[in-house]
Chain A
Amino acid sequence: MTTPDPPPSDSLRSVPRADPAVELRSAVALLGRFPALAGCDLEVASGEIVLLRGPNGAGKTTVLRVCAGLVPVVEGSARVLGVDLRKDQSGVRQRVGLVGHSGGLYGDLTVVENAVFFAQASGLTHSDAMQALDRMGVATRLHPVAVHSLSAGQKKRVSFAAMLSRRPELWLLDEPHSGLDESARDDLDALLAAAAGAGATVLMASHELDRAGDVAIRTVDVVGGVTT
């Protein structure tokens, strides 16, 4: 990964906002019939880097997916980037970036084809995709390689590049450091700090508390579908 200095480039959107970027109040979200969020409260200010921590199955991933507008909130209130998700669940999707457990990529497409597809799907260009790959330090020799042939760490870099090329205002990251080597982790931390400095908000879930805790401004505990 390329260390993000000088910081704000066209790929790190700067959006100063007065409202909180994320505001969940007694939010309930169901996975099937199971209440994965059971009255969750969370407020994240714009430009903040917040770490969600908690045991497996606590609801951290669901918080991220709710904020991405992928999982509906059935009770309580949820506002993300000023959008009321109870009224318009999908309204926020184009403004957030999500890097989850799965890469969200097409294994049979090459690195470049994936990055370009997701950039163009967001109305951006081929050069936006190439910039994002470059920024994430994805070596040029990997560009024509099918994603399924990459190592976990390389794949993660491509996932980040695909997200970055969309210039999200809110970064939602699930275990962002997993699969990355030490140097890539350092670079990721620098990238997150630069993104937050440029006005983007970062909400991440991680079990690697030493690493993620260092970069986070604040830590929120999630247990049993509620924040404590």
Chain B
Amino acid sequence: MSLSTVAGARLVARKDLRIEQHSRVALAQMLPFGMLVLILFAFALDPSRDVLTRATAGLFWMTVLFTSTLAVQRAFAVEVDDGALDSIRLSGISAASVFLGKVSALVIQLLVLEAVLALGVAILYNTDFGGWAMLVAVTLLSTIGMSAAGATYGVLVSRLRHSSTLLPLLLLPLLAPVLIAATKGSEVALGQEAGQSWSWVALLAVFAISYLVLGVVLYRPLLEET
């Protein structure tokens, strides 16, 4: 019996979050990595506190971007390590469900990581947060976009040799528009730059929706062996 797309996605997301709950890779490795990057940026730019303050949004999203590639890698390593991906392909879960489940689990994990990293930014970079509605919109859409693109490319490279080095090479240039739009939108929200911040939010929405649609459509062939 096949599951509905939503039921299948929920099952996959719950399974991924359960894996994280047991392994605590995000908590024990990705989060410290992200905090370390923030601290290193702070050390590197501290003599010029003004630069650090002005670059806060960019440094934050750069850190999130690096951390997200680790999260994507981890999300697919658990599928290929012991051949579980074959078991998934033999189950009643549709490819679209696998994609949406993976994206959901990544979004939840990244949002938690971003919340802690934001706290780190507030302490290390002495940032005053404002423009909450805009920040929440930027954060949510950026995270969905990164997760959707990550899940699409993650499965593409997961079965290749050297996938761990190949993924960032493919993913980082692809996510450049998200980095730019999230940084600009955050700067406007934080009052560091004047401008039409909602246009950046719109750009992030287009990116997120495009990759969600692309993933749902393309996941079936991407899951297959060639």
Contact = CB atoms under 8 A, between A and B. Distances in A.
B33 to A, nearest CB: 19
Given A102-B82, A117-B11, A108 B22 contact: yes
A107 B193 CA distance: 48
B108 interface: no
B95 to A, nearest CB: 9
Interface string B64-91: 0000000000000010011110111111
Contacts of A72: 224-225
Contacts of A68: 86, 90
B159 to A, nearest CB: 11
Question: How many residues of B sit at the interface, in one of the four size bands?
Answer: 20 to 34
A111 interface: no
B81 A118 contact: no
Nearest to B20: A108
Interface string B1-23: 11100001001000100110011
A176 interface: no
B78 to A, nearest CB: 6
Given A70-B225, A109-B22, A166-B91, A104 B84 contact: yes
Given A106-B84, A121-B91, A71 B15 contact: no
A100 interface: yes
Contacts of A69: 90
Nearest to A121: B91
B225 to A, nearest CB: 6
Nearest to B24: A108
Contacts of A118: 87, 91
A180 B23 CA distance: 28
A228 interface: no
Given A100-B86, A104-B83, A122 B18 contact: no
Chain B interface SS verdict (over half): helix
Given A108-B23, A123-B92, A146-B22, A103 B82 contact: yes
Contact of B11 (A103, A108, A121): A121
A129 interface: no
Contacts of B22: 108-110, 146
Interface stretch (A38-46, A79-87, A91-99): A91-99
B181 interface: no
A94 B225 contact: no
A162 interface: yes
Contacts of A71: 225
Contacts of A102: 82-83, 86
B86 A98 contact: yes
B144 interface: no
A124 B110 CA distance: 31
Task: Return the 8 tightest CB-CB contacts between A and B, nearest first.
Answer: A123-B1, A102-B83, A121-B91, A104-B87, A108-B23, A108-B19, A104-B83, A108-B22
Interface of B: 1-3, 8, 11, 15, 18-19, 22-23, 78, 81-84, 86-93, 224-225
25 contacts: A70-B89, A70-B225, A72-B224, A89-B224, A93-B89, A93-B90, A94-B1, A94-B90, A94-B92, A97-B90, A100-B86, A102-B86, A103-B83, A104-B84, A104-B87, A106-B19, A106-B78, A109-B15, A109-B19, A121-B3, A121-B88, A122-B91, A124-B1, A146-B22, A147-B82
